[in-house]
């Protein structure tokens, strides 16, 4: 049986990082040395046993440098590559873990090809004792080439676990089991014998979404305002002045800003800024409450974290600014 053809797109990150020695677990970023994607692939000689690999270099940076312009570029690379070579079975994107979940969720909403897309990273640099990147990359390719991966949306694979881009979050600064889907659990495992799925996400995901980013050079500005004891209106007023088209209120659990923030957010909503209420807790839904949210002109983020609510709102604002349509979008995605 022919092996699946998998395109690996390299962006840098810890998975490509090179430290001073094998005990350099956290200062390696200061070296500025990231392996190119071809080097990363060559460092896992077992890859040809699971897939025919196509190497696509993009960037070699830490993921704190990755942002919306890169998200748009990555979608373009995936679409162009799939159009040029229909035999490609899946895509793997190597990525730093700091913003990995954000890139994955954007792709989950914007990619228009049916081939599985997997975003993968590592918690230890390639040069470290016990580096996890090689096996993560191998497993990501196995998942991307698995027929059952179609229809799962964009996935994140680390630590032998498969998670949905919508649900997963980085939950620990250094532990290899950092990526967890707190509320809904993982999709499956990449075990030694086979890739095994146990559930399928129900929310809309790639490629069946209403968002088309082809031709876009930028996304609408959306800012996140965190709630904390005694917070005043300063940050809200600042982002409105800066031209924000949308604001994510990362409120107190279970989803509310401080009184001063709420007053400013209501004024922002009245002026036409889209305001979405999320929670800083990282788990659980924000309920679409009539008095607390709807009457204030806010939209509930449901179970999305603030950073993912921001991504959905950025894309939603490319198709609508109607509040009822925004509520529908947050219900469906």
Query: Which residue reads 């004024």 in tokens?
Result: 267
73, 129, 69, 67: which is closest to 100 by C-alpha? 67
What number of CA atoms fall less than 13 Å from residue 24's CA on the CB side?
15
Distances (CA, A) of 134 to 25, 31, 80, 95, 128: 16, 20, 27, 13, 11
CA gap 8, 122 in Å, rounded: 15
Active site (annotated) includes residue 14: yes
116, 140, 120, 324: which is closest to 205 by C-alpha? 116
Q: Active-site residue among 14, 99, 209, 305?
A: 14
What number of CA atoms fall less than 13 Å from residue 243's CA on the CB side?
3
Please list the active-site residues. 14
């Amino acid at each position: 049986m022919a092996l699946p053809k998998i395109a690996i797109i390299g962006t840098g990150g810890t998975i490509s990082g090179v430290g001073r020695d094998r005990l350099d677990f956290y200062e390696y970023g200061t070296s500025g040395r990231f392996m190119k994607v071809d080097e990363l692939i060559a460092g896992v000689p077992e890859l040809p046993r699971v897939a025919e690999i196509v190497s696509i270099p993009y960037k070699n940076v830490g993921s704190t440098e990755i942002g919306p312009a890169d998200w748009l570029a990555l979608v373009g690379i995936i679409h162009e590559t799939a159009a040029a070579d229909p035999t490609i079975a899946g895509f793997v994107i190597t990525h730093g873990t700091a913003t990995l979940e954000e890139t994955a969720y954007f792709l989950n909403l914007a990619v228009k090809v049916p081939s599985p897309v997997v975003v993968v990273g590592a918690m230890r640099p390639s040069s470290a004792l016990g580096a996890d990147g090689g096996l993560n990359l191998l497993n990501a390719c196995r998942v991307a080439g698995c027929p059952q991966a179609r229809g799962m949306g964009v996935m994140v694979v680390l630590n032998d676990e498969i998670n949905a881009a919508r649900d997963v979050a980085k939950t620990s600064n250094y532990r290899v089991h950092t990526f967890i889907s707190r509320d809904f659990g993982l999709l499956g495992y990449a075990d030694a014998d086979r890739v095994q799925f146990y559930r399928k996400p129900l929310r809309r995901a790639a490629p069946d979404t209403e968002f088309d980013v082809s031709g876009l050079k930028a996304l609408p500005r959306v800012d996140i305002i965190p709630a904390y004891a005694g917070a005043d209106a300063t940050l809200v007023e600042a982002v409105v002045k800066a031209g924000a088209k949308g604001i994510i209120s990362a409120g107190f659990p279970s989803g509310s800003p401080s009184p001063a923030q709420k007053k400013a957010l209501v004024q922002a909503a009245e002026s036409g800024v889209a305001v979405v209420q999320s929670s800083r807790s990282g788990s659980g839904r924000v309920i679409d409450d009539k008095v607390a949210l709807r009457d204030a002109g806010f939209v509930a983020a449901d179970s999305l974290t603030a950073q993912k609510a921001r991504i959905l709102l950025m894309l939603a604002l490319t198709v609508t600014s109607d509040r009822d349509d925004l509520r529908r979008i947050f219900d469906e995605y």
